[in-house]
Amino acid sequence: MESVTVARKQSPTGATEAPATSSAPTNADAREETDGFHLLIDALKLNGIDTIFGLPGIPITDLTRKAQAAGLRVVSFRHEQNAGYAASIAGFLTQKPGICLTVSAPGFLNGLTALANATTNCFPMILISGSSEREIVDLQQGDYEEMDQLAIAKPLAKAAFRVLHAEDIGIGVARAIRAAVSGRPGGVYLDLPAKLFPQAMDAEAGRQSLIKVVDPAPRQIPAPEAVKRALDLLSNAKRPLIILGKGAAYAQADADIRALIEKTGIPYLPMAMAKGLLPDTHEQSAAAARSYVLPEADVVMLIGARLNWLLAHGKGKTWGGKSAKAWGGQKFVQVDISPIEADSNVRIDAPVVGDIGSCVKAMLDRIGANWPKPPSDWLSAIGERKSRNVAKMADTLAKNPTPMNFQSALNVVRDIVKANPDAYLVNEGANALDFTRSIVDMYKPRKRLDVGTWGVMGIGMGFCVAAAVVGNEQVIAIEGDSAFGFSGMELETICRYKLPVCIVILNNNGVYRGDETNWAGDVDGDPSPLVFVKNARYEKVIEAFGGVGLYATTPDELRKGMEEAVRSRKPTLINAVIDEKAGTESGRITSLNPTAKKT
Ligand code: OXT
Ligand code: ADP
Ligand code: MG
């Protein structure tokens, strides 16, 4: 279909706009028409999508302009991967698919890591990419940025669609939204070839073609017998434990989850991004006794958490198994929306399939005043381990070594987060990640945003932008110096949009630590692959964009800098100098390094 010139265009949602093309109308009775650009924008708006994260260029440059003109917030990044991470975490925070918009082949590929990461983490996101012409791509004739993007996206996405005709845009967007948020959320790819955008059609027919998705994430009510089976198991446990994962955080069933924990009296362990679902200071939190409760528990209920590597696959020594892969003897209840998650690693004795809100509600409805509270010897044994670990941590945090170490710097961050519980905490690195997770308490749900299931570096600045834009709160990012490097140029984006983001780089001069020499033993040769320029002045980078750069060598300097950043809400980067000998290989996951034990 050819593009048709009209005097004024009316978008299907009613907004009148300036003509998209410059030539005058050929006839005074020209019918109102719309085109692919406007249909896409209208389809997104109709479904309550108000923000696009992306990076302009052929063939979507005008789409970014027109979307902004039509009232969408278009947040333009310096690299698509960061826009993609922003979209994915916006999806996690809002339960609406986050939109990432990229150009064809290289831009698409740059966004693809984030799409795959979204699918892996169960974050709803839609990667929309412009693409080259089908007839040229399919004959492999060498079009501008030629690539069969749909085929490449498919294995990495929960679903992937291509739209060829303007009248199908409404369907394409509706399918993408449903796929992203229904059931287990994930990343969806939507391929829009360049020719689609200027395709014109009658405005009324265009309006009719759009779909406002009804009930995009339908509740999934668990079977009553599954709920009963789970509660029977749990109520007969001698040493019950609940593990809350990021699926529980995503579900936004905060009050009911808290009621379930408190009514049953069962100790719970939050996975990293479930910290704050109940305040970390809650007396039933067993986080400070993790290595005690996992092997000792007899019945474990997982709510929105998978038994993947982060939980040692539910077996082996972490769980009290006699050997690396042996079952520890626990019985498991698993509450999850995915019916095929159960039994993925160990036997699940009581799967409860449904959305977490409905499952938790169904459990609460059956839990009466006569619910048997967990035996007191179990609770007191946990309490003892907790106090021991908390006291140990308090000792470490009270020290004030020179140079700073991770703990003395994070002691400051812990106070600042406590004083600002609504702030988002973005966190990546290895030691910078692991120390922060255990030292910095969270007080509210969905405030801790981190490297997730893959332990991926690079989410930092994209997550910061999204949290500030859709969460509308102060953001604090605790970054390893290596981790920061993956998305550092987005400091410009943060400054451009004047976002209230305070980035603290825990700078130990390298990946894990900064004191390594090369293994060739050549003092004049190349540096070790794990180290960076010594004493790099990262704070100067943000100054280049008009932000505030600070250099902190003591906890006092760090505290003053963070307090001022939060007070002023100005984009701020604090280069916190950490002892370069302070870190350990891979933080707390040294054992996953294949040669760790040999070196
Ligand atoms: O019970 P015990 O006694 O064991 O004690 C535990 C708790 O009970 C206790 N605890 C507490 N005590 C007192 N009070 C409180 N409140 C409390 N809370 C807890 O503390 C301990 C620890 O508790 P935790 O953390 O809960 O338990 P544990 O055993 O650690 O949990 C296990 C895990 C597996 C759940 C946990 O360790 C975890 O979540 N780990 C995530 C690890 C992860 O994802 N790491 C990131 C990846 S590492 C590596 O891959 C890196 N790369 C490679 C790379 C990547 N990733 N991506 C890409 C795209 N390219 C390359 C790179 C390049 S990291 C990295 C950069 C590193 O350099 P940086 O400069 O950025 O960072 P630095 O290391 O700082 O230099
Ligand atoms: P964590 O890393 O915190 O352990 P995972 O990402 O491994 O968490 O697990 C999240 C789980 O939550 C996934 O198995 C996913 O299917 C599930 N999930 C996500 N959203 C919901 C929901 N609304 N209702 C039920 N389960 C959900
Ligand atoms: Mg480092």
pLDDT in tens, 525-578: 999 999 999 999 999 999 999 999 999 999 999 999 999 999 999 999 999 999
Residue nearest (by alpha carbon) to ligand 2 atom 22: 355
Protein residues placing their CB within 5 Å of the ion ligand 3:
480-481, 508
- DSSP letter string over 510-536? BSS-S----TT--TTSPPPTTB-STT-
pLDDT in tens, 79-118: 999 999 999 999 999 999 999 999 999 999 999 999 999 9
- Cβ atoms 233, 333 nearer than 8 A: yes
Per-residue model confidence (pLDDT) at position 596: 62
Cα dist. 189→131, 151, 179, 252 in Å? 12, 10, 10, 25
269 lines ligand 2 (CB under 6 A): no
What is the distance in A from the centroid of ligand 1 to the CA of 439?
A: 11
Burial call 23-44: b when 16+ CB within 10 Å, e when fewer: eeeeeeeeebbbbbbbbbbbbb
Long-range contacts: 412-415, Cβ < 8 Å, 24+?
412/555, 412/558, 412/559, 412/562, 413/439, 413/440, 413/476, 413/478, 413/504, 413/558, 413/562, 414/439, 414/440, 414/441, 415/559
Per-residue model confidence (pLDDT) at position 197: 98
268: nearest Cα among 234, 291, 302:
302
Q: What are the tokens at 563?
A: 């307090």
Residue nearest (by alpha carbon) to ligand 1 atom 34: 310
252 lines ligand 2 (CB under 6 A): no
Q: Where are the beta strands (DSSP E) in 119-212?
A: 125-131, 159-162, 187-193, 200-202
308 lines ligand 2 (CB under 6 A): yes
275 lines ligand 2 (CB under 6 A): no
* Residues paired with 432 in a beta bridge: none
Provide the 3-class DSSP secondary structure of residue 350: strand
- What's the average model confidence in pLDDT over 476-505? 99
- Cβ atoms 137, 131 nearer than 8 A: yes
What is the distance in A from the centroid of ligand 3 to the CA of 526?
A: 19
* Residues paired with 448 in a beta bridge: 425
* Percent of all residues in the chain with a pLDDT value above 70, rounded to a whole number: 94
What is the distance in A from the centroid of ligand 2 to the CA of 475?
A: 24
What is the distance in A from the centroid of ligand 3 to the CA of 431?
A: 7
Number of Cβ within a 10 Å radius of residue 521? 7
Strand ranges across the sheet with 424-428: 448-450, 424-428, 475-480, 501-507, 572-577, 548-552
What is the distance in A from the centroid of ligand 3 to the CA of 480?
A: 5
Neighbouring residues of 451: CB distance < 8 A, sequence distance ≥ 6: 427, 428, 433, 457, 459
Residue type, 516: E
What residues are in contact with ligand 1 under a 6 Å CB criterion? 272, 287-291, 310, 389-390, 393, 429-434, 437-438, 451, 455-458, 480-483, 506, 508, 511-512, 583, 586-589
- Is the per-residue pLDDT at 213 higher than 50? yes
338 lines ligand 2 (CB under 6 A): yes
- Is the per-residue pLDDT at 428 higher than 70? yes
197: nearest Cα among 332, 364, 366, 64:
64
* Residues paired with 102 in a beta bridge: 129
φ and ψ at residue 355, rounded to 5 degrees: -75, 150
DSSP state of 575: E
At residue 16 the predicted structure's pLDDT band, cuts being 50, 70 and 90, is very low
pLDDT in tens, 104-162: 999 999 999 999 999 999 999 999 999 999 999 999 999 999 999 999 999 999 999 99
Query: What number does the ligand 1 atom closest to the CA of 113 have?
Result: 59
Residue nearest (by alpha carbon) to ligand 2 atom 4: 305
453 lines ligand 2 (CB under 6 A): yes
Distance of alpha carbon 356 from alpha carbon 360, whole angstroms: 6
Minimum mean pLDDT range among 345-359, 505-519, 580-594: 580-594
Our mutation pick for probing the ligand 2 site, out of 93, 219, 250, 446, counting the most ligand atoms within 8 A of Cβ, is 250
117: nearest Cα among 388, 377, 390, 454:
454
Phi-psi region of 587 (alpha: psi -120 to 50; beta: other; left: phi over 0): left
φ and ψ at residue 356, rounded to 5 degrees: -60, -40
Our mutation pick for probing the ligand 2 site, out of 184, 300, 345, 352, counting the most ligand atoms within 8 A of Cβ, is 184
> Which ligand has the minimum distance to the alpha carbon of residue 483?
1
**What is the value of pTM for the model shown?**
0.96
pLDDT in tens, 513-529: 999 999 999 999 999 99
Provide the 3-class DSSP secondary structure of residue 244: strand
Q: How many CA atoms lie within 13 A of 152 on its CB side?
A: 18
What is the distance in A from the centroid of ligand 3 to the CA of 432?
A: 7
- Is the per-residue pLDDT at 37 higher than 60? yes
Residue nearest (by alpha carbon) to ligand 1 atom 50: 455
